[in-house]
Amino acid sequence: MRAFIVDRYGKGGTLRSGEMPEPEVGAHDVLVQVHAASVNVLDAKIRNGEFKLFLPYRPPFVLGNDVAGVVVRAGPAVRKFGVGDEVYARPDKDRIGTFAEFISVSENDLALKPKRLTMAEAASVPLVGLTAWQALIEMAGLRKGQKVFVQAGSGGVGTFAIQLAKHVGATVATTTSAANTGLVERLGADVVIDYRTEDFETVLHDYDVVLHSQDDATLAKSLRVLKPGGKLISISGPPDPAFAEEIGKPWILRPATRVLSHRARKAARRRQVGYSFLFMRANGEQLREITSLIDAGVITPVVDRVFPFDATNEAMAYVQRGRAKGKVVIEMQEPR
């Protein structure tokens, strides 16, 4: 099958377009013919080798963490899906590879595609949707009447998280550029801060939750906008010891994550707030909850550009420039 392949780790490198074996299909797996796959910042970080310590993929491997497509084969123990089903998923972290013509996915990580969405739109959802869900609903327990600060509101996670938080009934603050103010307001942001001209720390006070996606300096400032008992959930690091436990490598990684997150955890304790790192995981059940919200019109994905499969490297470069509004998608076939 055709695929875009990481031959070696390296910052700023390109993916090789080439042939790879069709993936094996286990008893509980389905083989999905890929119609669309979205590009995430995570893809560049994996290609650059930033997660080698935690996720030791062995080159050559196929990149890609989001998929929408059609089931063309099902393992003998599969009960939830059948051939011809239109599905979408964020494959398990150990089974990435959506920049290809086919991918094998566990049925537990899969959900039926939202009926309202095209394949390209559906491919934009799983990773950012699950990230927002696991940060705001699962970890933070966000509820009606609380205040949440979602950083980078016009990005992939931000555009989804704003809508999810508003659905819950929270007051939402976000940062973006002046050019994207209208977009985040339409998504439901109540307080919009132009990061180029304003300091969010002088505007925001006594927040319940921060969804952090920026650098360490922003993290330190974000802890100070929380009220005592508040929670900061970071998707950009540093990883904490709970992360080592979650990925099943506590004895190897716990000391390293303890050192990496020491400053953040100490600063959080000093302010009587919580600090947690989230590396989102595949979850078909949560994705079905997200599907319901999308088909009910509660959440609408934001897609910036759609590239053809042959232009996957161009799509990667576009995402890395950091100016995309919402998600960037690569499309494998004609729209359905």
Task: Say how far apart CA 90 and CA 165 lie, in whole Å.
Answer: 21
The pLDDT value given to residue 334:
57
Residue 336: pLDDT band with limits 50, 70, 90: very low
In the chain, the percentage of residues whose pLDDT exceeds 70 is: 99
| Residue 250: band (very low, low, confident or very high) from pLDDT cuts 50, 70, 90 | confident
Dist CA 153 CA 184 (whole Å): 6
Torsion of CA 190, 195, 196, 199, to 10 degrees: 100
**89-140 pLDDT, tens digit each:** 999 999 999 999 999 999 999 999 999 999 999 999 999 999 999 999 999 9
Neighbouring C-beta atoms of residue 139, cutoff 10 Å = 17
What tens digit of pLDDT does each residue of 168-223 get? 999 999 999 999 999 999 999 999 999 999 999 999 999 999 999 999 999 999 99
Q: What share of the chain is helix, strand, coil (3-state, %, to 5)?
A: 35, 25, 40
Q: Which domains does the chain have, with CATH numbers?
A: 2-124+301-331 (3.90.180.10), 127-277 (3.40.50.720)
Output the CA angle 32-249-24, nearest 5 degrees: 20
pLDDT band for 333, please (50, 70, 90 cuts): low
List, for residues 75-90, the tens digit of each pLDDT value. Answer: 999 999 999 999 999 9
pLDDT tens-digit map of 138-164 = 999 999 999 999 999 999 999 999 999
Identify each DSSP E strand in the chain by its residue range: 2-6, 16-19, 29-39, 61-62, 67-74, 86-89, 102-106, 110-112, 147-150, 171-176, 191-194, 207-212, 226-234, 274-277, 303-308, 327-331
